[in-house]
Structure 1
Amino acid sequence: MGLPSDQVAWHSHAMRRLLLSSLLCLWAAAAPAAEVTGAYSKFDPEKDCRLIEKGDQYVYAGTWACKGVGGVDIIVSESDDRGSAAFGKGKDAMKHCAMRKTFHPFNTPLSPVEWRIRNGKPFAAIERWSVSNPEGDGHSTWLVITAIKQGESCHAHYVAGSYPNANAVAREEADALAPDFDCMTDTPTVDSKIGPPPIDLISCMEMEKE
């Protein structure tokens, strides 16, 4: 005895939906991940950035918002000859974890910034910093990979400027680490042959406890 015609129709329709759903799942699994692209942004606080907080007469020079990409600005600050850099929107980014981190010796975040972008949105920034040698003359450089999140940015990885193929390594680490990096609980990592960078290798949560 066959199924009633209405049940046959429903059964046929359900099978088609099941088949279509299976094909879509297979297509999604086979589809490649969105391509990561790169872009560069130059900045000069004295020429093309907007002052968002004035300095004082002592050691704080001020904080500036510089144009970035994808609606994300470069926020740079200087105090006591030490820089800070975060990635977000105006004064809101001054609250980011990245803004509270800097190298212990005198230092300067350098232009340009290299952005790592997926689907038109930057998820990481790579910036070279010049860091003074506290034991003598000269300086070293470090590439800082900053993870960019919704309403937050934080240091995720450091690459010594002297490390072999430092720029390529920084891009690889940015693409691998930044998307899933948890700013509150994850600790930044390092690629270096000259020892650790002169900066606190702690999570944002640990910073808040200090």
Structure 2
Amino acid sequence: MKLVINACAFAILFTGGLDHSNAQTFSSSYTSTAPKDCRTVGKPSESGGTTQVCPGKSGFVVLIAEDDLRETVSVGRDRAAAAKEPAAEAWFAPFNSTEHKVEWRTANGKPFAITQRWHIADGSDLDKDGRPNTKAMLMVTRLPPGAVCHVAYVDAKANPDANELARNAADELARDFQCGKDQVKIVGQSGRAVELLRR
């Protein structure tokens, strides 16, 4: 009889006894930052750099600025807002570029982070034509409310499950991350792409 009572109590605790009002449903959706899907704004810089505004999710836009073969990516309600975010000033020393797909992580339908694949040029690894080969990395960036900034880096080659690691990092870290105070996390195994960012 004692075992039956405990089993019933266990069942009540983990079914009807739980408050599911705080349960969150996480999901992903995608947008494109391909040039055909974005609009170029302003005039090219003296070095040929360009700025593009691309449609995002839930009224956000993605701002991609490229100059001297280096990119920054930021998000805001409009171009001006995105340009003022910390992410718009976060550039890397090595040449780099981004792929044209942005993954939006949402909780109960509201986006709170993006992940995007970057390619970082490795000057010590040249191809047959003397050009740097690139190393792939996934970047997690938090979204408003609050500032937009980098939260986590995942080395794509060093981690076969890099996409899942990036999603988990977004879900667990992005919303409580304090830009300018918290340090960007290296998630999973470190690899050459992450090493290049530290230079």
What band does the TM-score fall into relative to the shorter chain?
A: 0.7 to 0.9
Q: Work out the CA distance in 2 between the residues paired with 1:124 and 1:180.
A: 11
Decide which of 185, 190, 194 is 2:186's aligned counterpart: 190
CA contact (8 A) 2:154 2:190 kept: no
Which ranges of structure 2 fall in alignment gaps of 5 or more residues? 1-15, 127-132
Q: Work out the CA distance in 2 between the residues paired with 1:97 and 1:90.
A: 14
Post-superposition Cα deviations, 1:78-98, rounded to whole Å, max 9, x if no partner, equal 010001101112122111111
CA contact (8 A) 1:82 1:102 kept: yes
After TM superposition, which residue ranges in structure 1, 4 or more long, deviate above 3 angstroms?
26-30
Query: What residue in structure 2 maps to residue 18 of structure 1?
Result: none
Query: What residue in structure 2 maps to residue 13 of structure 1?
Result: none
Shift of 1:167: 0.5
Decide which of 15, 18, 33 is 2:23's aligned counterpart: 33
Instruction: Count matched residues.
Output: 174
CA contact (8 A) 1:55 1:61 kept: yes
TM-score using structure 2 length = 0.80
Q: Secondary structure at the match of 1:31?
A: helix
Residues 114-193 of structure 1 mapped to structure 2, 5 A cutoff: 114-137=103-126, 138-150=133-145, 152-162=147-157, 163-191=159-187, 192-193=189-190
Q: Which has the larger radius of gyration?
A: 1
Shift of 1:187: 0.9
Q: Work out the CA distance in 2 between the residues paired with 1:121 and 1:104.
A: 33
Q: Secondary structure at the match of 1:71?
A: coil
| The 10-residue stretch of structure 1 (125-134 or 144-153) with the greater mean CA deviation from structure 2 | 144-153
Shift of 1:151: 5.9
Paired amino acid for 1:198: L
Residues 1-210 of structure 1 mapped to structure 2, 5 A cutoff: 29-45=19-35, 47-56=36-45, 58-88=46-76, 89-137=78-126, 138-150=133-145, 152-162=147-157, 163-191=159-187, 192-194=189-191, 196-199=194-197
CA contact (8 A) 2:55 2:62 kept: yes
Q: Work out the CA distance in 2 between the residues paired with 1:101 and 1:60.
A: 19
Paired amino acid for 2:184: P
Paired amino acid for 2:30: Y
CA contact (8 A) 1:93 1:151 kept: no
TM-score using structure 1 length = 0.76
Q: Work out the CA distance in 1 between the residues paired with 2:65 and 2:112.
A: 21
CA contact (8 A) 2:122 2:196 kept: no
CA contact (8 A) 1:67 1:74 kept: yes
Post-superposition Cα deviations, 1:159-187, rounded to whole Å, max 9, x if no partner, equal 00111300011101110000111112111
Q: Work out the CA distance in 1 between the residues paired with 2:178 and 2:99.
A: 25
Paired amino acid for 1:114: E
Distance 1:27 1:53, change over 3 A: farther
CA contact (8 A) 1:102 1:199 kept: no
Distance 1:124 1:197, change over 3 A: farther
